[in-house]
Structure 1
Amino acid sequence: MNQIIDTTPLERRVTRREARDFRTAMAESGNAGWGSLSVSGNATIAALIGGLTTVAVLLVVGIVWIFNRSPELLLLAAAGVAFGGLIMVAIFAMMNRDRRLSLWKQHLTCVRFAERNGFVYRPETPGPRYPGLIFNLGNGRATEPGIFSDDGPVVACGRYKWETGSGDDSKTHRWQYAAIRLPGTLPHMVLDARSNNRLGTNLPVAYRSDQRVSLGQPLDKHFTAYAPSGYGFDAYYIFTPDLIAYLVDASRAFDLEIVDDWLFVYSRSGLDITAPRTWQQLDWLAQTVGARVGSRSESYRDHRVGEPAMDAPGLTPRPAPTGPPPQVAPRGRRLRTGVKWTAIAGGILYGIYLLISLIAKIAEWVG
């Protein structure tokens, strides 16, 4: 099978000078998304360390003044602390510069890779409008960074993040994903890989257990499959034996979701856009799993409805194919969510901990 995606730019080493020149060019270009990345953090770190050094100097001078009021000793102590602070500023500034330069090397590598393959690289894309299970959670949603394509087969790949909670209780969630556009619409189905689960599913969304379907071995050994109630036979139609073989062979480390006319691949750490292996895997998945799911989506018809299904909100309407358009009844378009029992158990344990702490404090006050 011939490789479509050229990963050569990902294997080429970027020099420090190339990274600096690229950073300067992006800062001067005014392109959206690059300006904030061009601001150096050295000044902030230097100011922080400078403030701490000032406090340390005053503290040392105060201690020396209490125990020995010699002006010479005071001057020597202050000079020593100040000199140490300057060294710390220099060290941290160099470390921060190297770290940021390394990030710019990655940016340039991704830009070159995207240009070679006709993709677009964006360091940050606020609020991607996809129907997948991770894309409508929390606030502050963004893909950072991501590589996108208008004509596929892989439409997007990147690291997606969102935030939950607020203030001190806020938490940032990060997932890596790839999106493959299908030529037709299919019922909502999820394959939850068992290999990356611990105590229950690792997915941020739980689905009701009565929607689990068995597709036989070997798929059941590696995945927990979900389909809307009453769509078990539809799942058999979509997941043919040859497709199952490909899924077990190469996809069992990923979670997969079919929703509307999309196939999403999810991972916590296995879809690094700077790694050639990621694109080799996605290239293979698109030509095997994606092609077979896409073929099924073109021929699939849901006998439960007689009217064409509407496009999902926020997505570009697709031209209707010849013949009856692919369609899914309302109850087949989305899985019903359930409760993550691991989260409930964690909340109960945390509540017990707080209760015990409160009882201990009350006992201490009474005693």
Structure 2
Amino acid sequence: MPMALNGVWILGLGILFTWSFRRLSTRRGTPSRHYRLARFAADNGLSYESGPVIVTHVKPWADRGVLRLTRVMRPVSQRSIEFANYELRAGAAGTGGARFGGFCAVRLSTRLPHILLRAQDGPADQFTLAALPDRAQRLSLEGDFDDHFTLYCPEEYERDALYLFTPDVMARLIDRVHGFDVEIIDDWLFFVSSRDVVTLDPLAWQGLYDAVAALSDKIGRWERWRDDRLPSVPRVPASADAVAENAAGLIARGVKPSAAGSRRVAKPGRRLRMRLAAGDLIGMIAFGLLMIGAVVTIFYSL
């Protein structure tokens, strides 16, 4: 019995380490592959960084754990856009489970409520995200949109979600965005897949460009959105005395003058309430079983 438990424990660890090593080595790539990707980037007006690099500037994702990007491509554009494959290790020190995939990140000029659209027909599944939104935040839309995407928005922000995702935007998503989750968080727009997006596959790039183009001309409308839940900030007069008087009035109302103009979303709308995904639960159960097996093995060996 102890030998059998010991064998199961060692086999489980071996499978876990083998899978992790194979996944990481495949994603890191070979010099020849990086050379081909660099040539592809140069031919299409993109910069290329092979990585892996630990990044913090993509703050909404970096806050979820340790974020490493590989095969990062950036076009020359007035708006910050990044195509990259990612490895996200949950937890402050990256000690949690790892998730892999690719995304296109588009920087916005204003912060928006946290909204997530999960694709029904793509490779994204419950293992893609570190957590899933609470079901109470699901917003059902008219037409056949629910057959293609599941939309989540913070409670009491349903009207704002409908302002952002008008019928023409939803139609474009249905027609052109396949296999990607779409997430708006702070001043970033993400197209996320559980598969790598920076590859040498022309069809994969065409799908990604279609996804970005589907919403690119609507971003200007989104950036005009304002959260009416925030206290209004009066125009500040030019004189120093008036500035001081206005700042004192803001403080009395509980609004910090330094943050009054920069905070664009009220606190309830900044983040969705999340619950554990099935992948997290399975990982926790598997880790628990391995630990139990180790303890039982040590106990029987005494």
Q: Give the C-alpha shift of residue 214 in structure 1.
A: 1.2
- 1:225 match: secondary structure: strand
Deviation at 1:249, TM superposition (A): 1.8
Map of 1:283-298 to 2, 5 A cutoff? 283-292=209-218, 294-298=219-223
Contact persistence 1:188–1:332 (CA under 8 A): yes
Aligned equivalent of 1:299: 224
1:142 aligns with 2:68: yes
Cα 1:157/1:128, change in 2 over 3 Å: farther
One-letter amino acid matched to 1:238: L
2:177 is aligned with 1:251: yes
Distance 1:361 1:104, change over 3 A: closer
Q: 1:263 aligns with which of 189, 203, 218?
A: 189
Is contact 2:99-2:127 (8 Å) kept?
Answer: no
Deviations 1:233-281 (A, max 9, x none): 1111111111111111222311110112221011121513432233323
The secondary structure found in structure 2 opposite 1:299 is coil
Give per-residue Cα distances to partners, 1:99-145, cap 9 Å, x unaligned: 9xx8333322332333344432111132242134x433333x32112
Structure 1 counterpart of 2:107: 181
Partners of 1:265 and 1:281 in 2: how far apart? 11
Distance across 1 between alignment mates of 2:279 and 2:36 = 40
- Residue 214 of structure 1 aligns with an amino acid whose one-letter code is S
Q: 1:275 to 1:338 in 2, by over 3 A?
A: same
Q: Shift of residue 215 of structure 1?
A: 1.9
Q: Give 1:129's aligned amino acid.
A: H
Alpha-carbon distance between aligned partners in 2 of 1:274 and 1:237, rounded to the nearest angstrom: 37
Distance 2:89 2:262 in 1: 38
In the TM superposition, 1:114-263 aligns within 5 A as 114-124=41-51, 125-132=53-60, 134-139=61-66, 141-149=67-75, 151=77, 155-163=81-89, 172-195=98-121, 196=123, 200=126, 202-263=128-189
Give CA-to-partner distance per residue, 1:83-109, whole Å, 9 cap, x none. xxxxxxxxxxxxxxxx9xx83333223
Are the counterparts in 1 of residues 176 and 214 from structure 2 also a CA contact under 8 Å?
A: no
Per the normalisation by structure 2, the TM-score is 0.67
Rate the CA distance shift 1:162–1:154 in 2: closer, same or farther, 3 A.
Answer: same
Which residue in 1 is equivalent to 2:39? 112
TM-score (norm 1): 0.56
The share of aligned pairs that are identical, in percent, is: 29
Cα gap change, 1:357 to 1:261, in 2 (>3 Å): closer
**1:354 deviation in Å?**
6.7
C-alpha RMSD of the superposition? 3.5
> What are structure 1's unaligned runs of at least 5 residues?
1-98, 309-323
Partner of 1:330: 267
Tell me the secondary structure at the aligned position of residue 247 of structure 1.
Answer: helix
Report the CA distance shift for 1:122/1:357 in structure 2 as closer, same or farther (over 3 A). Answer: closer
Structure (1 or 2) with the greater helix fraction: 1
Name the count of aligned residue pairs: 244
Q: Which has the higher contact order (CA 8 A, sep 6+)?
A: 2
Q: Secondary structure at the match of 1:206?
A: strand
Equivalent pair of 1:119/1:148 in contact (CA under 8 Å): yes
